[in-house]
């Protein structure tokens, strides 16, 4: 079963579209053994009329579990028109009533946590405990959006001149589009949907074509929570859908998380049409380990942060710099990594699930091979890993590569797999220099018991998110996700206050209610009285 939603929703979608052409009917029947993923347009889960479908596979088995449409231009137009029309009324709903919808949304997500996590695991591959974390970190953003009445507050200054006041307040932009990645099927969508809706915008989401099932469930829950028809739309596809979002004049802002190549393209294309754009891109996160660190804590943290979620996190701690005597701990890191069990995410005891698909597995293994060819040392080799009973799955075992240099391909590329690159430095200054020389600036961490060393590190490191004895320093939603340098395009970050600012605009009012007659002339007002 794809999900509790899919069978009933898909059947209903097929029924609603009973008047389709004979050719389309044949196409649907040919796929009858594999469920199709509906669009969600104007409050209805509807079967696409497209002839182009993309396989959605279970990474643990390689089995095709659904087919997702390349939504047609006409359907995408319908979604954009519907979102623009819905905005006219949704923006008028009081912030208190929009918050009440989000309060119901967070309750429904909490009640359906296990079902959502199981869907994430089935289509993305991560272990069930990690999938629950995926949903929960998104849920926290929904909860934080319930403070929108405070987050959208403006500023007032009375008496800037005689009988003259000025005040500013935030207004919603309009239609916000989100293009979400495969590695966090729940969390990233929930970075966008609640902030956009609660601030008075409407929203179009294009989930990854590799993991659309969780997104459709989130749409169903949003509808149950009271999000009005048209305020949340969901379309599917690949390049054509991305281009539509970048180009359509009814869309005012684009929020994207994914690779550098895609993000740079989206940022350039969207901003050329006058849209706001925020694009979280790739990463190469460095951990610096000093000899005075708590060894057991640090090694556990490094293994989990580098190998967990099969390394498919933009905040994976994929480079470990061991400083001075801490280099003696490298063999112990290898021993910890060897204990991690690779297996399907739905099975208890699995520590590392599969990577997303066979192409990702091939790419990761190629990058490990380049490390070997370029002079690095493979201390633990996860290539050609198979899991008994799941031979069709896309598994890569935990891998530790030592003696990595900045010119190595495995260092320059974001591997996005369960691979840790180990580097060595003589001093903290050298470790900071290595980290700062890397173009990415998403996250980094230091492990030490020295307050002076930690303070030096946090002030001299040129990375947007810093952990001190914390391996994955992703901010909670009262702050914002603040990756920097090559890890982001745009100047306003995701969620938190920065996310609200991205999705709203300031309006400033100058108000004059004079107590006596007042005359304005041709001279520039100076407001000096």
Measured at the CA of 128, the angle between CA 6 and CA 297, to 5 degrees, comes to 155
> Is residue 314 among the annotated active site residues?
yes
Angle between helices 113-124 and 128-145 (to 10 degrees): 120
Spatial contact of 133 and 120, defined as CB atoms under 8 Å apart? no
- Measured between alpha carbons, how far is 395 from 82 in angstroms, rounded to an integer? 42
DSSP for 358-395, written as a single string: HHHHHHHHHHHHHHHHTT-EEEE--TT---TT-TTS--
Which residue of the set 203, 314, 410, 421 is catalytic? 314
* Residue 397: half-sphere exposure toward Cβ, Cα within 13 Å: 18
Spatial contact of 461 and 444, defined as CB atoms under 8 Å apart? yes
- Measured between alpha carbons, how far is 432 from 362 in angstroms, rounded to an integer? 32
The secondary structure of residue 233, as a DSSP letter, is E
Alpha-helical regions (H) of 21-168: 22-30, 73-90, 95-111, 113-124, 128-145, 148-151
Q: What beta strand segments (E) does 209-257 contain? A: 232-234, 251-257
* Residue 135: half-sphere exposure toward Cβ, Cα within 13 Å: 28
Token pair recorded at residue 510: 């100058």
* Residues noted as catalytic: 314
């Amino acid at each position: 079963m794809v999900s509790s939603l899919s069978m009933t929703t898909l059947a209903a979608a097929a029924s609603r579209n009973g008047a389709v052409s004979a050719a389309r009917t044949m196409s649907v029947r040919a796929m009858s053994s594999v469920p199709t993923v509906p669009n969600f347009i104007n409050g209805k889960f509807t079967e696409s009329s497209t002839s182009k479908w993309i396989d959605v596979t279970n990474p643990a088995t390689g089995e095709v579990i659904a087919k997702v449409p390349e939504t047609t231009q006409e359907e995408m137009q319908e979604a954009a028109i519907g979102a623009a029309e819905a905005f006219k009324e949704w923006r008028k709903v009081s912030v208190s009533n929009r918050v009440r919808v989000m309060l119901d949304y967070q309750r429904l997500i909490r009640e359906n946590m296990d079902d959502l996590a199981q869907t994430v695991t089935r289509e993305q591959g991560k272990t069930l405990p990690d999938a629950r974390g995926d949903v929960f970190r998104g849920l926290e953003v929904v909860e934080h959006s319930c403070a929108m009445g405070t987050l959208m507050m403006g500023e007032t200054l009375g008496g800037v001149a005689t009988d003259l006041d000025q005040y500013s307040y935030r207004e919603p932009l309009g239609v916000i589009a989100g293009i979400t990645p495969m590695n966090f099927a729940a969390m990233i969508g929930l970075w966008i949907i609640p902030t956009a809706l609660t601030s008075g915008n409407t929203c179009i989401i294009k989930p990854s074509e590799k993991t659309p099932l969780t997104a459709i469930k989130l749409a169903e829950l949003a509808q149950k929570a009271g999000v009005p028809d048209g305020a949340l739309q969901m379309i599917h596809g690949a390049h054509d859908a991305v281009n539509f979002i970048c180009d359509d004049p009814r869309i005012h802002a684009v929020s994207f998380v994914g690779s550098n190549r895609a993000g740079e393209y989206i940022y350039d294309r969207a901003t050329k049409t006058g849209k706001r754009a925020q694009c979280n891109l790739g990463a190469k996160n460095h951990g610096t380990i000093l000899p005075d660190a708590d060894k057991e804590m640090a090694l556990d943290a490094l293994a989990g942060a580098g190998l967990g979620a099969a390394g498919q996190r933009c905040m994976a701690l994929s480079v470990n710099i061991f400083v001075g005597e801490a280099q003696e701990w490298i063999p112990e890191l290898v021993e910890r990594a060897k204990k991690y069990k690779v297996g399907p995410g739905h099975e208890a005891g699995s520590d590392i699930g599969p990577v997303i698909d066979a192409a990702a597995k091939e790419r990761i293994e190629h990058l490990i091979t380049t490390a070997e060819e370029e002079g690095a040392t493979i201390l633990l080799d996860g290539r050609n890993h198979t899991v008994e009973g799941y031979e069709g799955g896309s598994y890569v075992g935990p891998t530790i590569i030592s003696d990595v240099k900045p010119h190595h391909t495995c260092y320059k590329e974001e591997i996005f797999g369960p691979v840790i690159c180990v580097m060595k430095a003589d001093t903290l200054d050298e470790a900071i220099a290595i980290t700062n020389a890397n173009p990415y600036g998403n996250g980094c961490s230091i492990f030490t018991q020295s307050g002076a060393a930690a303070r030096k590190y946090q002030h001299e490191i040129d990375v947007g998110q810093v952990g001190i004895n914390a391996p994955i320093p992703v901010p909670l939603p009262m702050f914002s996700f603040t990756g920097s340098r090559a890890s982001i395009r745009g100047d306003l970050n995701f969620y938190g206050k920065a996310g609200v600012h991205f999705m709203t605009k300031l309006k400033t009012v100058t108000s004059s209610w004079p107590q006596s007659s007042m005359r304005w002339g041709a001279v520039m007002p100076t407001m000096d009285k």
